[in-house]
């Protein structure tokens, strides 16, 4: 039989029981005030900052899976395996190229334009090596640096992989794999790091006050310019445009994969923008990071709804693919200034980004530029808008922002076009017509992504 409630309160052990139950509550309530009074010690700040770099970096790396799913679902089934190979290949190339060359050019001893490659290669500091070797006296010097040296390198590396992924989607289904890998090597070892040196590396644009918090222009427009140059040199897919100039529909092979890819990218973007706070060792950092994630989410949501609303007007139907790209455009647009405090501005920025992307997709069809996944409208057009939008609420100077946009665009597009043109005239940038019709999976890899399907070569169609 259970003890009646009044008797329980008369039990002699009640005071002890109450103390045990209430102690955790008291500690929980008092701890924030005690922590605030004591502050976070330097070693704890070091651990939190390093942990933030590593975790956010891992989340950004996961965006490569998002790009892979988006692209594999957007292309025809006969090319899906090649998309998977290209994406894991470009990530590997980006990591090695940035380690051996790119990071040094971007951050080491930057003299206005470009840094210098040092030997031995970039690695842990001398104090960190000593600490790993058991020298406890090195702890203070390590902690004073604020974060682990290689955690910063890892966080920066995953950004350059994102830039390369943008190019992959635009040129899908007709670019030669080895030619694409060669361009990726040059993009990640030289082109992107030079842009990074001008800006995040403390070069001439940084000295002018150019603002790009997480890379609307530095990452996304750079990838967009490189993709546009490649699309112009390589040309559209066979049969994409009819003789009368109208575009032939090439519906995605797997809408579910595309949608999954967008959600993965959306998730990864929280690391992309939130991690760009570059610290998590204080209350200020935590509050700023919270605002950044909220603004990122609001802009993406606004981009989706805007693109869906405009798709009927522009394309004559509610278009899921346009809506998905609108969300990505909202994310790109807010990336240059996600640290703004008035959240309503992020909604407006996302709305404009979604509208620009929707119009940009139609514009590329009109001018006969074949962009398989819409990467140029998403990353280039929305990236330019996002960099200008910094002037609205994040304190950017319009003249400086325009100088940055134009100089980066001219450099990246010019160099990328020259590289693609050189590749096309030497080793060849495009697969043979027979390979394109049969599909790169069967023709080059000897496999099919969906072996239960019977894939037939597409007949020539000149209408």
Neighbours of 82 (CB within 10 A): 27
Q: What is the pLDDT of residue 26?
A: 42
Within a domain: 115:
yes
Q: What is the pLDDT of residues 192-228, one digit of tens each?
A: 999 999 999 999 999 999 999 999 999 999 999 999 9
CA distances for 367 relative to 70, 167, 231, 346, 418, angstroms: 24, 19, 12, 31, 21
The highest-confidence range among 17-26, 116-125, 279-288, 343-352, by mean pLDDT, is 343-352
User: Given phi > 0 = left and psi -120 to 50 = alpha, else beta, which region is 457?
Assistant: beta
Q: What is the pLDDT of residue 191?
A: 98
Calculate the average pLDDT of the chain: 90
Distance, C-alpha 443 to centroid of its chain:
31
The highest-confidence range among 38-52, 397-411, 449-463, by mean pLDDT, is 397-411
* Better-predicted residue by pLDDT, 451 or 156: 156
Give me the half-sphere count of Cα atoms (radius 13 Å) on the Cβ side of residue 187.
37
Residue with tokens 């798709």: 311
CA distances for 141 relative to 36, 42, 47, 109, 155, angstroms: 25, 11, 14, 21, 22
As a whole number, mean pLDDT of residues 417-432 equals: 97
Within a domain: 393:
yes
Q: What is the pLDDT of residue 463?
A: 56
Within a domain: 457:
no
Tell me how far apart the alpha carbons of residues 162 and 156 are, in angstroms, rounded to a whole number: 11
> Closest by alpha carbon to 196, among 103, 97, 57?
103
Q: What is the pLDDT of residue 86?
A: 97
Q: What is the pLDDT of residue 120?
A: 73
Q: What is the pLDDT of residue 462?
A: 55
Tell me how far apart the alpha carbons of residues 195 and 223 are, in angstroms, rounded to a whole number: 11
pLDDT at 425 over 70: yes
Tell me how far apart the alpha carbons of residues 23 and 33 are, in angstroms, rounded to a whole number: 16
* Assigned token pair, 238: 């066979």
Within a domain: 347:
yes
Q: What is the pLDDT of residues 149-162, one digit of tens each?
A: 999 999 999 999 99
Q: What is the pLDDT of residue 253?
A: 92
Within a domain: 229:
yes
Helix (H) or strand (E) holding 306: helix 283-315
364 neighbors 202 (Cβ within 8 angstroms)? no
222-234 helix and 149-170 helix, angle to the nearest 10 degrees: 30
pLDDT at 70 over 50: yes
Within a domain: 188:
yes
Tell me how far apart the alpha carbons of residues 195 and 207 are, in angstroms, rounded to a whole number: 14
* Better-predicted residue by pLDDT, 175 or 392: 175
Q: How many domains does the chain have?
A: 1
Q: What is the pLDDT of residues 226-266, one digit of tens each?
A: 999 999 999 999 999 998 888 888 889 999 999 999 999 99
Residue 11 DSSP SS3 = coil
Any idea what the CATH number is for the domain that residue 165 is in?
A: 1.10.3430.10
Within a domain: 199:
yes
Dihedral angle of Cα 375, 378, 379, 381, to the nearest 10 degrees: 120
Percent of residues, the chain, with pLDDT higher than 70? 89
Within a domain: 18:
no
Backbone phi, psi, residue 136, to 5°: -65, -20
As a whole number, mean pLDDT of residues 291-320 equals: 96
As a whole number, mean pLDDT of residues 177-197 equals: 97
Q: What is the pLDDT of residue 77?
A: 93
Helices (H), 39-79: 42-61, 63-74
257 neighbors 69 (Cβ within 8 angstroms)? yes
Tell me how far apart the alpha carbons of residues 203 and 210 are, in angstroms, rounded to a whole number: 10
Neighbours of 15 (CB within 10 A): 9
User: Given phi > 0 = left and psi -120 to 50 = alpha, else beta, which region is 254?
Assistant: beta
Q: What is the pLDDT of residues 351-400, one digit of tens each?
A: 999 999 999 999 999 999 999 999 999 999 999 999 999 998 888 999 99
Task: Give me the residues paired with residue 175 across strands.
Answer: 430
Rg of the chain, C-alpha, whole Å? 26
Q: What is the pLDDT of residue 341?
A: 87
Q: Which domain holds residue 275?
A: 41-445
Read off the pTM: 0.88
């Amino acid at each position: 039989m259970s003890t009646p409630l009044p008797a329980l309160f008369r039990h002699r052990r009640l005071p002890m029981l109450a103390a045990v139950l209430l102690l955790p509550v008291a500690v929980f309530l008092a701890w924030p005030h005690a922590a605030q009074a004591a502050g976070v010690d330097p070693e704890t700040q070091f651990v939190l900052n390093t942990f933030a770099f590593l975790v956010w970096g891992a989340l950004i790396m996961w965006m490569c899976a998002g790009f892979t799913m988006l692209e594999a679902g957007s292309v025809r089934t006969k090319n899906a395996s090649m998309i998977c190979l290209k994406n894991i290949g470009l990530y590997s190339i980006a990591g090695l190229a940035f380690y051996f060359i790119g990071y040094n050019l971007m951050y080491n001893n930057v003299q206005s334009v470009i840094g210098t490659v040092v030997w031995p290669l970039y690695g842990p500091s001398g104090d960190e090596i000593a600490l790993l070797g058991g020298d406890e006296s090195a702890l203070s010097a390590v902690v004073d640096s604020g974060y682990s040296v290689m955690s910063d390198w890892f966080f920066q590396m995953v950004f350059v992989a994102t830039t390369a992924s943008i190019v992959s989607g635009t040129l899908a289904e007709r670019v030669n794999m080895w030619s694409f890998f060669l361009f990726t090597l040059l993009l990640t070892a030289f082109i992107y790091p030079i842009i990074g040196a001008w800006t995040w590396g403390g070069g001439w644009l940084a000295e002018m006050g150019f603002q790009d918090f997480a890379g609307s222009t530095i990452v996304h427009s750079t990838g967009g310019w490189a993709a546009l140059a490649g699309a112009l040199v390589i040309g559209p897919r066979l049969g994409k445009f009819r003789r009368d100039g109208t575009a032939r529909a090439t519906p995605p092979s797997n809408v579910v994969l595309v949608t999954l890819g967008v959600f993965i990218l959306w998730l990864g973007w929280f690391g992309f923008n939130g991690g760009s706070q570059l610290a998590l060792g204080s209350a200020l950092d935590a509050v700023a990071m919270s605002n950044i994630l909220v603004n990122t989410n609001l802009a993406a949501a606004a981009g989706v709804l805007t693109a869906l609303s405009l798709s009927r007007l522009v394309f004559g139907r509610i278009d899921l693919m346009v809506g998905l790209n609108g969300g990505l455009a909202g994310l790109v647009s807010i990336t240059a200034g996600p640290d703004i405090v008035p959240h309503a501005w992020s909604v407006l920025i996302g709305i404009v980004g979604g509208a620009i992307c929707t119009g940009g997709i139609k514009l590329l069809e009109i001018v006969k530029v074949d962009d398989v996944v819409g990467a140029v409208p998403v990353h280039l057009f929305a990236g330019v808008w996002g960099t200008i939008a910094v002037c609205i609420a994040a304190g950017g100077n319009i003249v400086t922002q325009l100088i940055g946009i134009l100089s980066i665009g001219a450099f990246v597009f010019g160099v990328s076009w020259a590289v693609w043109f050189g590749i096309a005239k030497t080793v060849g940038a495009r697969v043979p017509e027979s390979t394109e019709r049969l599909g790169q999976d069967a023709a080059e890899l000897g496999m099919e992504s969906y072996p239960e399907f019977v894939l037939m070569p597409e007949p020539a169609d000149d209408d």
